Amino acid sequence: MIAKREIVALQCATQAFNQRPGCLPAFGDHDGIIIVDGLDNVEATAAALIGGASGSVRTKTTVLLTPEEVDEATKKQGNYRPPGQ
């Protein structure tokens, strides 16, 4: 049985993302997690702003990385010194 809250979240996400996302119920600070694949950061931000502006949902966006993106990041060079050193 799908809860009313899940139906509303899926409808909002489907309209915002133009695709059917996955929705998982959760314990803790959040009632559910919606997983959407294929959005860039600008599209995800716009969808979160639109959903938040409606007042019907509060969102927190977490960008997930692929293993390939992590591999690419490990190859980057940097020159960082902690403050005071």
Q: Please report, for the chain, the start and end positions of each structural domain, with discontinuous segments joined by +.
A: 4-74
Provide mean pLDDT across the span 23-37. 75
| Calpha distance 12→50 (Å, rounded) | 9
- The H-or-E segment that residue 32 falls in is strand 32-35
Residue with the bigger pLDDT between 47 and 71: it is 71
pLDDT (tens digit per residue) in 53-83: 877 677 778 888 889 999 999 999 888 888 9
Least confident piece of the model among 1-5, 41-45, 48-52:
1-5
Provide mean pLDDT across the span 29-58. 76
* Polymer length in residues for the chain: 85
- Distant-in-sequence contacts of 7-13, Cβ < 8 A, 24+ apart: 8/56, 8/57, 9/34, 9/57, 10/34, 12/51, 12/54, 12/56, 12/57, 13/47, 13/51
Q: Is the pLDDT of residue 6 over 80?
A: no
